[in-house]
Structure 1
């Protein structure tokens, strides 16, 4: 009886000393980036390990080994993150040896700590109980708050970043694939564990719904048009109208210029006398070579003005087969917003087509896009002809100037 009385205080003392040692060690050396694997987590694991050990009916020696293993199981975080369990075993062996703890019991404690590694063996009861105590957070109301701390820790220490959806999915998957290894742990945590799984499903569903709404807002679907789409269409229509007006003004300028030029050339080349005959200007009779530059200038003006007239000429694209089309509003090639497409339709057909378009916003936008496309085709034709007109005028003037210079040299 006397021997037993002296042993009990000694056993209680070693646990108190281990607590003091780990507390000081964590305060001095634990990295500040560790916000989950802190002294708080270790203390919780110790508390749950003692409760599980007592519920399992462990002997006093085994319960002491379990509690000591719980105090040291995360001590290796002071030096390493991945594989910290092995460093924890070394620290436990070193400190317990200094305290004169039996070597065979140190071996038991080390084997128990090794079980907390993700690839560790979990065969003995002590190993299973420590793993369950370490994972007891899954069956507690604080699971969600602690999970966020773990997420921050992983981002800081491992560089792992997760979106809200990814994190919620990973947590639900972890809960669904985790099982407690002992009956006492399953019985102790089962109610809150089930509640946490249920709550995590709700969290994931809520986050996915919010994420989906955000994606729809960013893509701005046809079903919910945003101001940006309407602004885009207004801007495109405005730009097309400005470009078309610019092309018409340039074409009119070329028509006026070349018309005046042609009139002057004809007047200079010859004039009617008495309304009966035409007399060639005497200057060309004396210098017939001048007819070459004047002829080039006349051809230039004529070619340029014809191209400019074709550019300014109204061009209406019509579809005669629209009269026979049974699905006018749904045809992607048809643009009921442009008179050139619907001028062959009857009033009833046009009204029914417009009513169908206004009923469905996607068809309305399709017709607006088609309208812009046809406006682009017209602009392409206008600027192609306008470019031809300007090119003819430029090249013609150069050839006229060169031929006139040659004519002067020839005269000399």
Structure 2
């Protein structure tokens, strides 16, 4: 009998490999192997005899072979494959009848009567208690979408899964004891996913009350502020470049000549020019120097609208998991999201005010520095040349 199990495995594997549609992402050899493993586990827990276990395994191997020909009513085709295989291997009629009954009981609306029927029924739906339930469910979703030529939204699929959970029940005592708690955990996670999607949809619906005008206001205003910030940085860079050139020229051409007495009149004008140029450079640097917060942002601060994690200067000390939680929280709570955008706009405005204030001071210093330096050169040159004219 053990030899017939190995032959059945080989037969079904070859059948699926050669004839099963490539769109059977769920009803394939992987599902069949999983059912065989689970039926073996249930048989052990239930204390089934060796003969009963082998019969259960045979039924598990053949229960979905009908999918190579049809989807609806595949159980009858599966019975045909099983009977032909068992007859060809000279299996007794009693065993063939048992295997037939076990395959047919896998029809969705049929309720099992015998203990073996309960076990095959439970094993066929054991994935509801699997740790990989959602991955397995997605395979069935993909298969149904292609075969039915339709698509399911995440919410539609999850709610369909929930209906199946509520309809489904385990029949054997072992499955109730071992798998029911795991099924309950999957149902809880399923409900959580459904609630999360519904909350997001409700948030999107509530967002409509703000209208496109509010979103456009934030988008345009933030864009204008960013452009103004870029203009301020460009102006600061221009001042930095101009004053760096002035300082370089002064250091390379004027300063070396100051040790000559004939050029003594250049000392004060050069010092004045250098002083104003250095001051302009310092102010330009201050206007572009970034300021990063050292506050450790917490979840409570986010929920209480006390911070804005849309700005990197605030979230740079947060861990990745906390930051991901914060972004999810913003997406799920529109009032907090708009509050963060408002804070972002406000503090960007404060930064711009500081930049333009320092730039105004810098331009003023630079302007007066050029004027005073030019006047100093003129006055010094005049005072230097006047004694020479008197001597002449």
Q: TM-score range by the shorter chain?
A: 0.5 to 0.7
Query: 1:127 offset after TM fit, Å?
Result: 1.1
Unaligned segments of structure 1, at least 5 residues? 1-10, 232-412
- Secondary structure of the 2:211 match is coil
Distance change >3 Å, CA 47–CA 230, structure 1 → 2: closer
Equivalent residues in 2 for 1:261-280 (5 A)? none
Q: TM-score, normalised by structure 2?
A: 0.53
Q: CA RMSD in A?
A: 1.7
* Mapped pair 1:48 → 2:34: no
- Secondary structure of the 1:64 match is helix
Cα distance in 2, alignment partners of residues 157 and 69 from structure 1: 26
> Which residue number in structure 2 is paired with residue 225 of structure 1?
211
Equivalent residues in 2 for 1:78-227 (5 A)? 78-217=68-207, 220-221=208-209, 224-227=210-213
Query: 1:13 offset after TM fit, Å?
Result: 0.6
CA contact (8 A) 2:39 2:56 kept: yes
Cα distance in 1, alignment partners of residues 150 and 104 from structure 2: 25
> Which residue number in structure 1 is paired with residue 232 of structure 2?
none
Pick the aligned partner of 2:3 from 1, 13, 16: 13
> Which residue number in structure 1 is paired with residue 274 of structure 2?
none
Pick the aligned partner of 2:59 from 62, 69, 82: 69
Cα distance in 1, alignment partners of residues 165 and 28 from structure 2: 22
Query: 1:216 offset after TM fit, Å?
Result: 4.1
Cα distance in 2, alignment partners of residues 212 and 150 from structure 1: 28
Query: 1:151 offset after TM fit, Å?
Result: 0.9
Cα distance in 1, alignment partners of residues 216 and 64 from structure 2: 60
Cα distance in 2, alignment partners of residues 225 and 81 from structure 1: 48
Q: Which has the larger radius of gyration?
A: 1
Cα distance in 2, alignment partners of residues 45 and 203 from structure 1: 27
Cα distance in 2, alignment partners of residues 90 and 81 from structure 1: 15
Aligned residues: 217
Distance change >3 Å, CA 230–CA 155, structure 1 → 2: closer
**How far does the alpha carbon of each residue in 1:206-238 deviate from its partner, in whole angstroms, 9 at most, with x for none?**
111122233444xx31xx23228989xxxxxxx
Cα distance in 2, alignment partners of residues 77 and 67 from structure 1: 18
> Which residue number in structure 2 is paired with residue 349 of structure 1?
none
CA contact (8 A) 2:75 2:103 kept: yes
Query: 1:128 offset after TM fit, Å?
Result: 0.9
Distance change >3 Å, CA 228–CA 26, structure 1 → 2: same
Cα distance in 2, alignment partners of residues 197 and 174 from structure 1: 10
Query: 1:165 offset after TM fit, Å?
Result: 1.4
Unaligned segments of structure 2, at least 5 residues? 218-392
Distance change >3 Å, CA 160–CA 230, structure 1 → 2: closer
CA contact (8 A) 1:36 1:149 kept: yes
Query: 1:160 offset after TM fit, Å?
Result: 4.3
Distance change >3 Å, CA 176–CA 120, structure 1 → 2: closer
Distance change >3 Å, CA 40–CA 225, structure 1 → 2: same
